[in-house]
């Protein structure tokens, strides 16, 4: 059975790892830059793709250059709402039914907007798109599952005062504090803020994340923040194993109570294990993978993004997703940054199918895992109903395209 592009377009999909500031429409970046008088290297889409948002990057530093422009544009409520609204529709238009948008609120707080306003603005854009989409489904009597979303807030592993007005303020107020203490303090303040906003406003803030430079900035610095959100029943994900190795992933799970792992790219890489602390790296990795498999900790895999940030990875086929698949780990395929990595969910699925010989059943399991392991913003009973509706709809798409698979594991 051939898995066609048309089939991938029709099936219901998720994106559980997508950054708002890395996934803007390029046309909107240019238009907003003109309106806000922000200088860009080019005001033509072709020029920006040649100079900034490239088809392949030399290293991580080059990859991150684009965020300098997008983040600078998202400093007022209107811009945040617009970016979120457009992102939702970009996903809806390719068949994404559930979306978890993540961003670092403290990169956007300033004299115009506090953290509550930042979160409200992003939610307003997502909510408007959701209403428009689901109203259309009702009018057309379309059996597709309704569009749903959640918001994930990101703490930063490290920062400087140049990151934003907030980070400048906290850096100056605690200029004599050790760096790890300062980073942890900012994360704890974010944790307290987002829990308060969620409780007071009812916004669908579904998760807490730790992003930014991984190597040299351990997850344990942010333990107090993660303990706080854990005690307040918020789900947790952690960027881990992206720029460091298995020990970083282990720390995310054991120290930060991670429910999911962002990237997990170096999960099986023995060269990233500290041999001064681990006597047998191969056994350590084997036991870690076994633990992840049995606990069903889901890994948010971002194929194109990893290609973009690791110049040593010359072929998608060499991505460790192959090992994750062979070990039967719970994985879901994500975009990370639609603009910066010039990708979409459908493209990520296409890459996985073509490079890892996914069967129709394996593909189905991976896609459904995205729904099952999501931080769905409604109660458990409603989540079960929603996932069952997704599975039933998936079966209708299979029949439409002549694809037969065994039933996915019952939820």
Give yes or no for residue 410 having a pLDDT over 60: no
Pair type for strands 13-19 and 205-211:
unpaired
Please, which pLDDT band fits residue 406 given cuts at 50, 70 and 90? Answer: low
CB proximity list for 35: less than 8 A, separation 6 or greater: none
Count Cα neighbours of 167 within 13 Å in the Cβ-side half-sphere.
19
The string of pLDDT tens digits covering residues 161-184 is 999 999 999 999 999 999 889 999
Q: What is the CB neighbour count within 10 angstroms for residue 318? A: 12
Integer-rounded Cα Rg, in Å, for the chain is 21
Closest CA to 181 of 223, 128, 133: 223
CA distance 322 to 318: 7
> What is the model's pLDDT at position 408?
52
CA distance 247 to 265: 12
Helical H segments across 207-330, by residue range:
223-231, 246-256, 281-295, 303-309, 321-326
**Residue with token string 């307290």:** 192
Helical H segments across 259-379, by residue range:
281-295, 303-309, 321-326, 345-356, 360-372
> What is the model's pLDDT at position 409?
55
> What is the model's pLDDT at position 407?
59
The string of pLDDT tens digits covering residues 330-375 is 999 999 999 999 999 999 999 999 999 999 999 999 999 999 999 9
Give yes or no for residue 47 having a pLDDT over 90: yes
**Residue 251 phi, psi dihedral angles, 5° rounding:** -65, -40
CA distance 34 to 10: 36
Q: What is the mean pLDDT of the chain?
A: 95
Closest CA to 258 of 212, 297, 204: 297
**Residue with token string 């749903």:** 148
Give yes or no for residue 294 having a pLDDT over 70: yes
N- to C-terminal Cα separation, the chain? 26
Closest CA to 64 of 305, 382, 315, 298: 305
In this prediction, residues 376-388 reach a mean pLDDT of 98
How would you classify residue 307: left for phi > 0, otherwise alpha for psi between -120 and 50, otherwise beta?
alpha
CA distance 17 to 343: 13
Percent of residues, the chain, with pLDDT higher than 70 = 98
3-class SS of residue 41:
coil
CA distance 20 to 4: 29
> What is the model's pLDDT at position 311?
86
Helices 246-256 and 223-231 pack at an angle, to 10 degrees, of 50
Spacing of C-alpha 346 from chain mean position: 15
> What is the model's pLDDT at position 150?
98
The string of pLDDT tens digits covering residues 192-242 is 999 999 999 999 999 999 999 888 899 999 999 999 999 999 999 999 988
DSSP H helix total and E strand total for the chain: 16, 8
> What is the model's pLDDT at position 405?
77
Is-contact 333 264, C-beta < 8 A? no
> What is the model's pLDDT at position 73?
98
> What is the model's pLDDT at position 411?
37
Instruction: Please indicate whether residue 270 or residue 408 has the higher confidence score (pLDDT).
Output: 270
The string of pLDDT tens digits covering residues 245-281 is 899 999 999 999 999 999 999 999 998 898 888 999 9
Domains of the chain, start order: 5-400 (3.20.20.140)
> What is the model's pLDDT at position 215?
84
> What is the model's pLDDT at position 317?
95
In this prediction, residues 69-90 reach a mean pLDDT of 98
């Amino acid at each position: 059975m051939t898995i066609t592009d048309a089939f991938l377009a029709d099936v219901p999909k998720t994106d559980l790892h997508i950054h708002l500031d890395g996934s803007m429409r390029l046309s909107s970046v240019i238009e907003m830059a003109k309106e806000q008088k922000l200088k860009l290297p080019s005001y033509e889409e072709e020029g920006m793709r040649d100079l900034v948002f490239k088809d392949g990057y030399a290293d991580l530093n080059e990859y991150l250059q684009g965020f300098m422009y997008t983040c600078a544009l998202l400093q007022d409520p209107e811009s945040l709402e617009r970016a979120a609204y457009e992102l939702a529709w970009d996903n809806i238009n390719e068949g994404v039914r559930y979306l978890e948008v993540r961003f670092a609120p403290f990169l956007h707080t300033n004299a115009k907007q506090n953290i509550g306003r930042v979160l409200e603005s992003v939610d307003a854009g997502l909510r408007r798109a959701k209403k428009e989409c689901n109203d259309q489904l009702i009018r057309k009597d379309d059996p597709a599952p309704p569009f749903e979303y959640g918001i994930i807030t990101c703490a930063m592993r490290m920062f400087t005062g140049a990151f934003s007005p907030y980070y400048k303020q906290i850096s100056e107020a605690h200029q004599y504090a050790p760096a790890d203490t300062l980073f942890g303090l900012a994360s704890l303040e974010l944790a307290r803020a987002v829990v308060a906003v969620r409780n007071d406003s009812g916004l669908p803030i579904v998760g807490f994340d730790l992003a930014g430079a991984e190597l040299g900035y351990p997850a344990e610095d942010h333990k107090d923040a993660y303990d706080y959100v854990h005690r307040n029943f918020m789900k947790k994900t952690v960027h881990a194993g992206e720029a460091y190795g298995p020990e970083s992933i282990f720390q995310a799970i054991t120290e930060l109570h991670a429910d999911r792992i962002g990237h997990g790219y170096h999960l099986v890489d023995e060269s990233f294990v500290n041999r001064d602390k681990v006597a047998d790296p191969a056994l350590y990795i084997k036991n870690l993978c076994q633990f992840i498999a049995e606990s069903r900790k889901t890994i948010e895999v971002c194929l194109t993004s990893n290609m973009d940030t690791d110049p040593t990875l010359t072929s998608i086929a060499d991505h460790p997703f192959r090992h994750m698949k062979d070990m039967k780990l719970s994985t879901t395929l994500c975009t990370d940054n639609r603009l910066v990595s010039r990708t979409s969910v459908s493209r990520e699925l296409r890459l996985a199918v073509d490079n890892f010989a996914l069967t129709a059943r394996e593909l189905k399991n991976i896609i459904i895992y995205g729904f099952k392991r999501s931080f769905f913003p409604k109660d458990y009973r409603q989540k079960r109903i929603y996932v069952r509706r997704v599975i039933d709809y998936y079966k209708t798409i299979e029949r439409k395209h002549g694809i037969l698979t065994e039933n996915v594991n019952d939820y």
